[in-house]
Amino acid sequence: MAENTTAHPPVRFETHPDRYKHWKLDFPEAWGGKVARLSMDIQDDLGLRPGYVLKLNSYDLGVDIELADAIERVRFEHPEVKAMVVTSGKDRIFCSGANIYMLGSSTHGFKVNFCKFTNETRLYLEEMAAESGIPTLAAVNGTASGGGYELAIACDEIVLADDGSSAVSYPETPLLGVLPGTGGLTRLTDKRKIRRDLADAFSTVAEGVRGKRALEWNLVDAAPPKAKFDAVVKERVDALVARSKRDQRGKITLTPLSVERTDAGARYTHVTVELDRGARTATLTVRAPDGDQPKTPEELAKAGAKAWALAAFRELDDALLDLRFNQPEIGLVLLKTAGDAKHVLEVDAMLAKHANDGLVREVVLHMKRVLKRLDLTAKSLFAIVDAGSCFAGSLLELALAADRVFMKDSEDEEVTMASSPMNAGPLPMSNGLTRLQSRFLREPERVGHVLETSGAPIPTQQATKLGLVTFAPDDLDWDDELRIAVEERASLSPDALTGMEASLRFGGPETMETKIFARLSAWQNWIFQRPNAVGPRGALTLYGRPERPELDWNRT
């Protein structure tokens, strides 16, 4: 049965601290403005969609959208911040995780995309510590279960109140028949390196683990009694501030995106999305800058959110999220670029020259995060390179992220690509490799051959020899070959393609990040469709009712 995609209004991913419903972002005087404090105080009756109540600080997608926005604003708008505290504004409850009734009433696709967005946001929180010098501490002043503990474990340190009732837990397996968000299990073993047997016990005890035992098992970093909780939090946050290496002088205010939406797609300043619902395809075009761009970090700060390197990728991010959540029937995205490649290469040169500047670093890290979002999007991606394209440097990454690259071999028109220093390391994939390295695992020397051309136009035949192109039809065959390839791809099973693409996009080494999304694409995707979880008598379906779930005891 096809999923109902029209029952609810489209999800929008832009917000602002003035409009937050569930989080409070402040900068306590006790730390002289050097610490951002994010307090979760979820309003029960203000869920993103009707039909469920967000009790016990449980969250839905709307809560996570605010969290992602807050993290981004701290990074761009508050260069004085050197640490962050995540805590609860409610008494005796930190966070009870994803709202069960929201999950139970959502379509399968929404559940999986929700989990993906949540994990992307938590990885962004971890990146903030590793790359921006803003370590985080979870002040767990109550029970943290499921996604609540997943949020805590995404922080660098966890302080749990030892008050006789506060606990950390992963109750999903015993109560709901699903995995603990996939990121949760991976962080237990790969981040906190908890012993396998203890992790097994922890993940199957619904009531969780408290105080001293949580500390013994390394589930938390401190478990002071309630009377000393605030003092211990302050002491540990002071230490985080002292060790922070953040050195960012400039800031950028993240102003609202300019976008015109219609039933046929969306038009931003630098990005356009055109939908062909009948063909189940979308054409996503990113345009090069058409005017002077900042040449120094000071000019970047002055240009603010209008600077192309930030504006275009913010727009691309919003477009990708719209395609994920609001256009599930679109299976194939045709990636195009337009404009003068020279202007893209000039921006890249500035970013590379000033890579050690704090504000420039944040812009590049944002570009990296958006390109990862592209890698992780469950759509087929075809890059279309023809006359007028500007797949250069940072925009060449779009082609390198694609499942296939079609480049026109024309005798009458100039069709080129170009590499830049941005292809050499600043924009890695989830596997820790650049997209060039991931492309040439068998022939790593080809990476150097491509980078040697930095800044110079690469025409079609040279691009083909370098291994940058999948197919290069000539003028006569271009339209027909492209049409046939698009029609064939759109005719294939979306389920099979999602699994195939997720398997092929991340060759090479495995990281905590690739494990999280591989398990999300495979195991959680599978479990969310199994009757033991979502069948008429499944654990997730019957949660909160007096009936017991009926499980199929056959192992698969």
Q: Which residues of 30-56 are buried (b: 16+ CB within 10 A; e: fewer)?
A: ebeebbbbbbbebeeeebbbeebebeb
pLDDT digits (tens, 9 = 90+) for 459-473: 999 999 999 999 999
**Average pLDDT, integer, range 488-512:** 92
- pLDDT tops 70 at residue 385: yes
**Contact between residue 167 and residue 209 where contact means Cβ atoms under 8 Å apart:** yes
Taking the CA atoms of the chain, what radius of gyration do you get in angstroms? 24
> Residue 526: its pLDDT value, please?
80
Domain 262-497 has CATH 3.40.710.10: no
**Contact between residue 321 and residue 374 where contact means Cβ atoms under 8 Å apart:** no
**Contact between residue 419 and residue 446 where contact means Cβ atoms under 8 Å apart:** no
Pairing of strands 83-88, 332-338: unpaired
pLDDT digits (tens, 9 = 90+) for 287-336: 999 989 999 999 999 999 999 999 999 999 999 999 999 999 999 999 99
> Residue 1: its pLDDT value, please?
29
Residue 506 or residue 419, greater confidence: 419
Q: Which two tokens stand for residue 408?
A: 């026109």
Residue 179 or residue 267, greater confidence: 267
- pLDDT tops 90 at residue 521: no
- The rounded percent of the chain whose pLDDT value lies above 70 is 98
**Average pLDDT, integer, range 397-402:** 98
End-to-end CA distance of the chain: 24
> Residue 306: its pLDDT value, please?
97
512-519 vs 108-132: helix axis angle to the nearest 10?
A: 170
- pLDDT tops 90 at residue 183: no
Q: Which residues pair with 47 in a beta bridge?
A: none
pLDDT digits (tens, 9 = 90+) for 99-124: 999 988 899 889 889 999 999 999 99
> Residue 182: its pLDDT value, please?
66
CA distance 241 to 352: 28
- Look up the pTM and report it: 0.95
Q: Decide which of 3.30.420.40, 3.40.50.2300, 3.30.413.10, 3.90.226.10 is the CATH code for 17-243.
A: 3.90.226.10
Domain boundaries, given as residue ranges, for the chain:
17-243, 262-497
Residue 4 or residue 17, greater confidence: 17
- pLDDT tops 90 at residue 90: yes
pLDDT digits (tens, 9 = 90+) for 545-556: 888 889 888 887
> Residue 288: its pLDDT value, please?
98
- pLDDT tops 80 at residue 4: no
User: Quick check: do 17-243 and 262-497 share a fold?
Assistant: yes
Average pLDDT score, the chain: 95
Q: How many other C-beta atoms are found inside a 10 Å radius of the C-beta of residue 264?
A: 11
Q: Collect all residues with Cβ–Cβ distance below 8 Å to 357 and sequence separation of at least 6.
A: 248, 249, 250, 297
Secondary structure element (H or E) that encloses residue 142, with its range? strand 142-145
Alpha helix ranges (H) inside 254-379: 297-303, 308-326, 341-353, 358-375
pLDDT band at residue 181 under the 50/70/90 scheme: low
